[in-house]
Amino acid sequence: MTAAGQPRRFRLDRFISSRVGVKRRDVRALLASGRVCLDGQAAREINQVVDQFSHITLDGEVLQDFAATYLMLNKPRGVVSATRDDKHRTVIDLLDANMGSGLHIAGRLDYNSTGLLLLTNDGRWSRRLACSNNPVQKVYRVTLEHPLTERYVEAFAQGMHFPFEDITTRPVSLKILSDHSAELRLTEGRYHQIKRMFGRFNNKVLTLHRIAIGNVTLDPQLGPGQHRPLTQMELDGLF
């Protein structure tokens, strides 16, 4: 995995040549004799593209067997959504020893924001999650310094223009839960977007908590800082 979460992709013959120390032209004979298996099937094409999650064996000996990892984590306040930081504790520091190796964050939260984070070592999956052509809805709960009115609902539904970037946000669904709290549903994540939108009303966001990304809802059994793997049902329905 590269630093940006880009999965390594390479030709099968190049991988086998470098792993077992044979010349690439000799790999063809290994494939022809059925000695190489890729994901449980005999591999035949030398130019077949594999990645870091491909299960590859030679004569029954495992050459590579890395599993894709998908985690949900309940981010506490005061933790950085980063893999490394020289000054602050990161979400990777919350994981068990050695568990965070190769993981990156799919959708960050601010230092003081809390709630659902997704972590993975699968760069294609996280890029699909962030793809603007396939927007995934995110749900947040916020508490505000000043009372809410119906003016907020209308303004958020229309979208807001941010002159610095010269962009207009997509419509945001705002549901007032109480005088000082609301639930927001949006399909993008501009820089400090929620805080800036409430800033138009000079209303300070006191707490910001993410409760869902797509069909994946933060597990109520997870306390702050705790995590668990995503279920297959969550993975299948996320997009």
Domain definitions of the chain by residue range: 9-64, 70-237
Predicted pLDDT at 22: 87
Q: Which CATH superfamily is domain 9-64 in?
A: RNA-binding S4 domain (3.10.290.10)
Active site positions, annotated: 110
Predicted pLDDT at 100: 63
CATH class of the domain comprising 70-237? alpha beta
Coil/strand/helix, residue 130: helix
| Euclidean distance between CA atoms 215 and 202, whole angstroms | 32
Question: pLDDT 10s digit of each residue in the chain, 239 long?
Answer: 444 444 567 888 888 888 888 888 888 889 888 999 988 889 888 888 887 778 888 898 888 777 788 999 999 999 999 888 888 899 999 998 766 678 889 888 999 999 999 999 888 888 888 876 778 999 999 999 999 999 999 999 999 999 988 999 999 999 999 999 999 999 988 889 999 999 999 999 999 999 999 999 999 999 999 999 999 999 988 87
Question: pTM of the predicted model, to two decimals?
Answer: 0.78
Closest to 209 (Cα-Cα) out of 180, 174, 172, 183:
183
